Amino acid sequence: MPASVKITADVIKAHGFKGDEYPRLLEILGRTPSMTELGIFSVMWSEHCSYKSSRFWLKTLPTTGTCVIQGPGENAGVIDIGDGDACIFKMESHNHPSYIEPYQGAATGVGGIMRDVFTMGARPVANLNALRFGAPDHPKTKHLVAGVVAGIGHYGNATGVPTVGGETNFDKAYNNNILVNAMCIGLAKTDKIFYSAAKGVGLPVVYVGSKTGRDGIHGATMASAEFDEKSAEKRPTVQVGDPFTEKLLIEACLELMASDVIIAIQDMGAAGLTSSTSEMADKGGVGIELNLDLVPQREPHMTAYEMMLSESQERMLMILKPGSEPQAEAIFKKWELDFAVIGHTTDTGRMIVKHKGQIEADLPVDKLANSAPQYQRPWVATPPAARILPEWVKAPASNLGALKTMMGQPQLASRRWIWEQYDSMVRGDTLQRPGGDAAVVRVHGTMKAIAACCDVTPRYVLADPVMGTKQAVVETWRNLICVGANPLAITDNMNFANPERPEIMGQFVGSVQGMGEACRALDFPVVSGNVSLYNETNGVGIPPTPAIGGVGLIPDYSKSATIALTAAGELLILIGREEGHLGQSLYQLIIADKAEGAPPPVDLNDEIKAGNLVRALIREERVSAVHDCSDGGLLVAIAEMALAGGIGVELYPYEGKLPAHAAWFGEDQGRYVVAAKPGVAEQIAERARLLGLPARIIGKSGGNGLTLKGEAALSLAVLRAVHEAWLPGLMGA
């Protein structure tokens, strides 16, 4: 776009400025912006970069704690995991691009989040992802699943970072707005963490990585708008990834980071050169001057506007100690990457962009980084949903028959077709692969391990944003407990529809409130995160989907647990309160074909009691298998443990006060199933009761199927066939 383009009302609108935002820009500048300046402000003020609808509420979340080294505000969150080791992680969405171009959209989502992590000095050691697709029978679903999974897989596989876990939902509410949330975890030393503040004047600004092209221009603006019929035309704004270059960039950056020449470093993600330069300069309290003639360019005749807004992938910006350029350049040349000094820091407080002898932008850095509008958008709370009593939901002809049906449905069927496309084993530290409650990755050369998982149940959050998000946090926490970890901190990925609608903003506000309550009670702070709004097409939005990525530490991985039953003749104990809550349950959804009522309530005190007990049992090596009860309830949890271990279970008939199907399929929270030897099992139940937690022995391991008195037995072979068949069937193997 030539600099001579006139700034008309249409041009302003096309740049996403709304309401009084453009007049506000005029007031800040005291003059009409140049085209390049308009573009720069449009991306910095986009929802994606400025968090203008969400920041007010996000500030209410707990972000500090004993383990927190760096909370939100840097490229990623940093926590202390002892012995001088730090764990650096974040989750980020790539929803809009993945719908338009699934392979590249998902691949560059993975690439972007990995750069956020290694830019802080960490080697990426694990990737996870949380995916939401539309109805299985929607004409685009198969194409989107195939593309997204291949894109995630190829990027992680080729960079040599294991993809170890995640979750996938199918729901018609995502038909026109899929969600692709990628999480990366890295490890560093606490005394070798790199930040983005460009402190110091006269320092070289260095560009490394790939050349700049015209791809992804205005990607951040696209990600801040709803979709309509013409969205496919936005394909050119989707970036193209090159995991080979990313792999070289990781190695080159980590090699340079082993020295002490880097003052600040940041990746060029959303809004590319614009956001990296302005944020680094602002944090360092300096000005910055760039000469775009020196930027490595992939194609000729690029304008300043295009270069400042390009979202070409695999690029980083560094501020180096003066004189260290040759040393740094040698490393990047060895890895066959571009290296260019493109400017320097100044004491003027201004960002000056020169191109072909012209000044294309001359802007105040602090205003650029900090003057985005902040909205307290009007909101209305989601009306409370009624509690559904267990007896209101009809009983099945057979509980095991209902289980068999449920285990073959899109909500519960095996995700093996997805995760077998991910290299989960590279680097030789993956102690628990996908398929369990949480992935476990060893801290190389130690007995410590990181546990990680992603969780949210959108139908709960839709029914009650406060309780549903509380549930998402506790489920994440429970999944970390299940493998024997101390849950430490979370990253959140807030996926919502259009916040300009008060009921959607109300979902967001409720969700933040529920998250805050749970995180405070569990001492489980939020250290990083990402907000994706406007997940909406023609006025129809997604269900609120606050994906929670949790990280925990296992101090000694020889004392951890998996969901797999390991021996016959052991007793299964259910720990936790049984209320038979069927509102919003999968039983209600699949067997009764309804999604009604309030989600299961969360009692944070009971969660803590049950979690601490289960973790103690794992550390004392009293239990041989552990699984929490979540989607599908108790019977599904038992079935998953049986399938994972290849050992059946004789189920003891339910003799309590609830309807039996509510006991087997209720989704009451704060519950675990553990397996232990006879004798030990009774002691475990007694310990739970002493803590005020109900516990009962629910069955005995053994045999080659699930049996329940009065019902036809369900063999593991049949159950496995049903469970494994659905997704390959959908995808055509």
Partner 1 sequence: MRACVIVFPGTNRERDIAEAIEGVSGQPSRMIWHGDTEVPKCDLIVLPGGFSYGDYLRTGAMAAHSPIMRDVVAKAKAGTPVLGVCNGFQTLCEAGLLPGILLRNASLKFVCKDVHLRVDNAATLYTNRYRTGDVAQVIVAHGDGNYFADAAALDELEAENRVVFRYATPAGEVTQAANPNGSQRNIAGIIDKRGRILGMMPHPENACETTLGSTQGRPLFESIVAGMAAA
Q: Toward partner 1, which CB reaches closer, 389 or 426?
A: 426
Collapsing DSSP states into helix, strand and coil, what is residue 724?
A: helix
Show Cβ contacts of residue 655 under 8 Å, excluding neighbours closer than 6 positions.
none
Binding of partner 1 by 258 (CB under 8 A): no
* Least distance (Å) between residue 569 CB and partner 1: 23
Largest CA distance in the chain: 86
* Least distance (Å) between residue 124 CB and partner 1: 11
Binding of partner 1 by 446 (CB under 8 A): no
Residue 364 · residue 28 · CB < 8 Å: yes
* Helical packing angle, 35-44 and 272-284, nearest 10°: 70
Q: Among 11, 193, 431, 592, which residue sits at the site for partner 1 (rule: CB under 8 A)?
A: 431
Binding of partner 1 by 555 (CB under 8 A): no
Taking contact as CB under 8 A, which single stretch among the options 58-66, 269-277, 420-428, 698-706 is the one that binds partner 1?
420-428
Binding of partner 1 by 153 (CB under 8 A): yes
Pairwise CA distance, residues 104 & 436, whole Å: 28
User: What are the Cα distances from residue 219, in Å, to 44, 223, 239?
Assistant: 12, 6, 8
Catalytic residue among 48, 355, 627, 723: 48
Q: Environment class of residue 727 by beta-carbon count within 10 Å: exposed (0-12), middle (13-18) or buried (19+)?
A: buried
Q: Which helix (H) or strand (E) holds 651?
A: strand 649-651
Taking contact as CB under 8 A, which single stretch among the options 254-262, 330-338, 635-643, 679-687 is the one that binds partner 1?
330-338
* Least distance (Å) between residue 426 CB and partner 1: 6
Taking contact as CB under 8 A, which single stretch among the options 267-275, 318-326, 332-340, 584-592 is the one that binds partner 1?
332-340
User: What are the Cα distances from residue 547, in Å, to 52, 115, 527, 610?
Assistant: 20, 20, 14, 23
Pairwise CA distance, residues 394 & 661, whole Å: 9
Handedness of CA 37, 40, 45, 47 (dihedral sign): positive
Binding of partner 1 by 556 (CB under 8 A): no
Binding of partner 1 by 545 (CB under 8 A): no
Q: Toward partner 1, which CB reaches closer, 65 or 166?
A: 166
CB neighbourhood size of 337 (10 A): 23
Q: Among 298, 427, 520, 619, which residue sits at the site for partner 1 (rule: CB under 8 A)?
A: 427
Half-sphere exposure of residue 16: CA atoms within 13 angstroms, side-chain side:
25
* Least distance (Å) between residue 251 CB and partner 1: 8
Pairwise CA distance, residues 514 & 502, whole Å: 18
Q: Among 299, 420, 621, 686, which residue sits at the site for partner 1 (rule: CB under 8 A)?
A: 420
Q: Do the strands 350-355 and 439-442 form a parallel or antiparallel pair, or are they unpaired? A: unpaired
Nearest alpha carbon to residue 220 among 173, 257, 273, 177: 273
Residue 698 · residue 705 · CB < 8 Å: no
Catalytic residue among 15, 94, 581, 661: 94
Binding of partner 1 by 175 (CB under 8 A): no
Binding of partner 1 by 595 (CB under 8 A): no
Nearest alpha carbon to residue 500 among 52, 86, 149, 24: 52
Q: Toward partner 1, which CB reaches closer, 228 or 420?
A: 420
Binding of partner 1 by 391 (CB under 8 A): no
For the window 628-647, what string marks contact with partner 1 as x by the rule CB under 8 A? --------------------
Binding of partner 1 by 285 (CB under 8 A): no
Nearest alpha carbon to residue 239 among 167, 151, 165: 151
Helices (H) then strands (E): counts for the chain: 25, 28
Taking contact as CB under 8 A, which single stretch among the options 127-135, 275-283, 417-425, 702-710 is the one that binds partner 1?
417-425
* Least distance (Å) between residue 35 CB and partner 1: 36
Pairwise CA distance, residues 314 & 209, whole Å: 6
Which backbone phi and psi does 313 adopt, to 5 degrees?
A: -90, 170
Q: Toward partner 1, which CB reaches closer, 195 or 557?
A: 557
Collapsing DSSP states into helix, strand and coil, what is residue 491?
A: strand
Binding of partner 1 by 425 (CB under 8 A): yes
Taking contact as CB under 8 A, which single stretch among the options 86-94, 237-245, 526-534, 641-649 is the one that binds partner 1?
237-245
Q: Toward partner 1, which CB reaches closer, 425 or 717?
A: 425
Half-sphere exposure of residue 197: CA atoms within 13 angstroms, side-chain side:
7
Task: Tell me 718's DSSP state.
Answer: H
* Least distance (Å) between residue 175 CB and partner 1: 25
Show Cβ contacts of residue 52 under 8 Å, excluding neighbours closer than 6 positions.
45, 372, 373, 374, 375
Q: Toward partner 1, which CB reaches closer, 221 or 424?
A: 424
Residue 267 · residue 315 · CB < 8 Å: yes
Q: Toward partner 1, which CB reaches closer, 332 or 654?
A: 332
Binding of partner 1 by 424 (CB under 8 A): yes
Taking contact as CB under 8 A, which single stretch among the options 53-61, 397-405, 416-424, 669-677 is the one that binds partner 1?
416-424
Nearest alpha carbon to residue 518 among 461, 471, 480: 471
Binding of partner 1 by 248 (CB under 8 A): yes
* Least distance (Å) between residue 564 CB and partner 1: 12
Is there a catalytic annotation at residue 138?
no
Half-sphere exposure of residue 3: CA atoms within 13 angstroms, side-chain side:
18
CB neighbourhood size of 211 (10 A): 18
Binding of partner 1 by 415 (CB under 8 A): no
Is there a catalytic annotation at residue 94?
yes
CB neighbourhood size of 78 (10 A): 28
H helix intervals, 195-334: 219-222, 243-257, 272-284, 304-309, 325-334
* Least distance (Å) between residue 190 CB and partner 1: 22
Q: Which helix (H) or strand (E) holds 551?
A: strand 545-554
- Tokens read off for 561: 């647990």
Pairwise CA distance, residues 340 & 78, whole Å: 29
Binding of partner 1 by 562 (CB under 8 A): no
Which backbone phi and psi does 715 adopt, to 5 degrees?
A: -75, 150
* Least distance (Å) between residue 155 CB and partner 1: 11
Q: Among 94, 154, 315, 459, which residue sits at the site for partner 1 (rule: CB under 8 A)?
A: 154
* Least distance (Å) between residue 455 CB and partner 1: 23
* Least distance (Å) between residue 438 CB and partner 1: 16
Taking contact as CB under 8 A, which single stretch among the options 33-41, 156-164, 197-205, 295-303 is the one that binds partner 1?
156-164
- Tokens read off for 246: 């990313």
Binding of partner 1 by 157 (CB under 8 A): yes
Binding of partner 1 by 277 (CB under 8 A): no
Taking contact as CB under 8 A, which single stretch among the options 81-89, 399-407, 429-437, 663-671 is the one that binds partner 1?
429-437
Binding of partner 1 by 247 (CB under 8 A): yes
* Least distance (Å) between residue 618 CB and partner 1: 16
* Least distance (Å) between residue 342 CB and partner 1: 24
Q: Among 557, 654, 664, 726, which residue sits at the site for partner 1 (rule: CB under 8 A)?
A: 557
User: What are the Cα distances from residue 685, in Å, to 572, 610, 630, 653?
Assistant: 10, 11, 20, 18
- Number of residues near partner 1 (by CB under 8 A): 32
Q: Among 423, 475, 570, 667, which residue sits at the site for partner 1 (rule: CB under 8 A)?
A: 423
User: What are the Cα distances from residue 13, in Å, to 21, 166, 219, 228, 584?
Assistant: 10, 38, 16, 16, 42
Binding of partner 1 by 435 (CB under 8 A): no
Taking contact as CB under 8 A, which single stretch among the options 157-165, 225-233, 369-377, 641-649 is the one that binds partner 1?
157-165
Q: Toward partner 1, which CB reaches closer, 137 or 420?
A: 420
Q: Toward partner 1, which CB reaches closer, 153 or 611?
A: 153
Active site residues: 48, 94
Binding site for partner 1 (CB under 8 A): 150, 153-154, 157-160, 242-245, 247-248, 334-336, 420-428, 430-431, 433, 442, 557-558, 733
